[in-house]
A and B are shown apart, each in its own frame.
Chain A
Amino acid sequence: MNQSTHDIELWLSTMADQLGKIISKEPLMIGILTGGVWIAERLHKKLQLKDPLGQLNIAFYRDDFSHIGLHPRVTPSSLPFSVENREIILVDDVLHTGRTIRAALNEIFDYGRPARIILAALIERSGRELPFSADVIGKRMSLKANEHVKLSGPEPLALEIKTAE
């Protein structure tokens, strides 16, 4: 087990503890594809949630479609439950600009009107472009604009920080 895999396990436990304190009795959980779903699968198990895990593909809600077009390989969104009036834990691997979260919130509301949404992110890094903050965070990182966090998984989960030229 390399160092970062070990760290991720600790961060996941921290997240589960924090979530345990703020969630209501029967929350739903939705992971954002792809990395967010890996994190959500782990948290879903730790919290022993009853409802199945939902997965969200925000490709049809991105704000950069007119610049870059459709993303290759679109795994469909799948929310095997009604979100109407439910508490939802929305999970992503990295919270960076906040644009993914905006897209995810828009998509969730096209399925119905949830009672509450809690945002959980494994990594909360610098570089926000929209006014979002996570309720539950595994690890805070201060990174330069040209540094990117890349999560690989699902087994084992590992982190890599890449620097773009």
Chain B
Amino acid sequence: MTDSNIQLDKHGRLKHFLTIEGLDRSLLQDILNYAESFSGVGERAVKKVPLLRGKTIANLFFEPSTRTRTTFELAAKRLSADVLSLNIAYSATKKGESLLDTLRTLEAMHCDMFVVRHADSGAAHFIASHVAPGISVINGGDGRHAHPTQAMLDMFTIRRHKGDFAPLRVAIVGDILHSRVARSEIHALSILGVNEIRVIGPRTLVPKDIQTLGVHVYHDLDAGLHDADVIIVLRLQHERMCSALLPGEAEYFNLYGLTEKRLCLAKPDAIVMHPGPINRGVEIDSQVADGKRSVILQQVSHGIAVRMAVMAMTMGNLSNLDPETIDAHSH
């Protein structure tokens, strides 16, 4: 999939945000820097800036989601846009309307941006390649493919705690095979130039060709956690239990659950992250999830700032003006 071509305009600026793959380091840093600016907005008397006033953003959630949908919604509102959130899984598509028909209907309502969450890999890309010019599309998670805003909010959280990416050892633990979060994180971490990316999980849940992305594979949790600066625990989806990929939740926790004892193997200042929602006692022990190394709730607040940054960048970049000709400061 060559998402990166259609998500950039001819000046190399973001027009859609579909995947991290293929973007360059300076663009990812721009997202993090803008997010840093936007993060202050939530602490003020009026938690809004007027950037997207008069714009309409439609959250199209073909797959259920709570935190991604609500933080996108809040991000849009803090930019002063009007937002409608559609749980399409339960509405028109159930009546047999095709994706393109749904799209045309929303275009007729003069929406300026679609945030798309879909169970099929490539859905956001498909929509981006069919929308009218002037509409931005942001991928809120597509199948097993990508979840770029989640990856960027994780990068933002890592940067807030660790500063520089270069010396870091980052361990991603759990169901790598089915995880769009893991895939986007691996791309982001390698573009930002971390020292080492490790993926840790059972053989049945780690893709066979994953080394080609430049990661080190561990099937033993203790070995993989050794000297890690950042530990990202992935959610174990219950439906995988039924598909004979895993023996059971208790067995999984014994082998791959992050406990205080195991956390001691990582660096003393290591942080623990999780994209949520958490399965306590399955992939992570409650003591760790609620412990002082956990930054899981910060990830949620950072998600708002990062989504504001991506929305403002894509909407602002639709103007077609050459960035070189823009006067940076007219008084």
Contacts and interface: CB of A to CB of B under 8 A. Distances in A.
Nearest to A106: B50
Interface residues of B, number: 31
B323 A72 contact: yes
Given A57-B37, A74-B37, A112 B45 contact: yes
A100 B313 CA distance: 21
A76 B319 contact: no
Interface in B21-61: 30, 33-34, 36-41, 44-46, 48-51
Interface in B204-239: none
Contacts, number: 83
Interface string A33-62: 011000000000000000000000101110
Contact of A69 (B36, B317, B330): B317
Interface string A73-85: 1111110000000
B326 interface: yes
B44 A110 contact: yes
A89 interface: no
Contacts of A74: 33-34, 37
Contact of B319 (A57, A66, A75): A66
Contacts of B323: 69, 72
Contacts of A99: 330-331
B49 A61 contact: yes
Nearest to B52: A65
Contacts of B48: 110
Contacts of B330: 64, 96-97, 99-100
B328 A71 contact: yes
B316 interface: yes
B321 interface: yes
Given A60-B51, A110-B45, A110-B49, A68 B37 contact: no
Contacts of A78: 40
A76 B331 contact: no
Contact of B40 (A69, A77, A93, A97): A77
Nearest to B331: A96
B321 A68 contact: yes
Contact of A72 (B30, B40, B46, B318): B30
B331 A95 contact: yes
Nearest to A74: B37
A163 B51 CA distance: 31
Interface of A: 34-35, 57, 59-61, 64-78, 92-97, 99-100, 106-107, 109-112, 125, 149
19 contacts: A59-B37, A60-B37, A64-B330, A66-B319, A68-B319, A69-B315, A69-B316, A69-B323, A70-B312, A70-B313, A71-B326, A73-B33, A76-B36, A76-B40, A93-B331, A97-B331, A106-B50, A112-B45, A149-B331
Interface of B: 13, 30, 33-34, 36-41, 44-46, 48-51, 312-313, 315-319, 321, 323, 326, 328-331
Given A70-B316, A72-B328, A100-B330, 16 more contacts: A57-B37, A61-B50, A67-B319, A69-B313, A69-B316, A70-B313, A76-B36, A92-B331, A96-B331, A97-B330, A99-B330, A109-B46, A110-B45, A110-B49, A111-B46, A149-B331
5 closest A-B pairs (Cβ-Cβ)? Answer: A69-B316, A96-B331, A110-B46, A60-B49, A76-B37
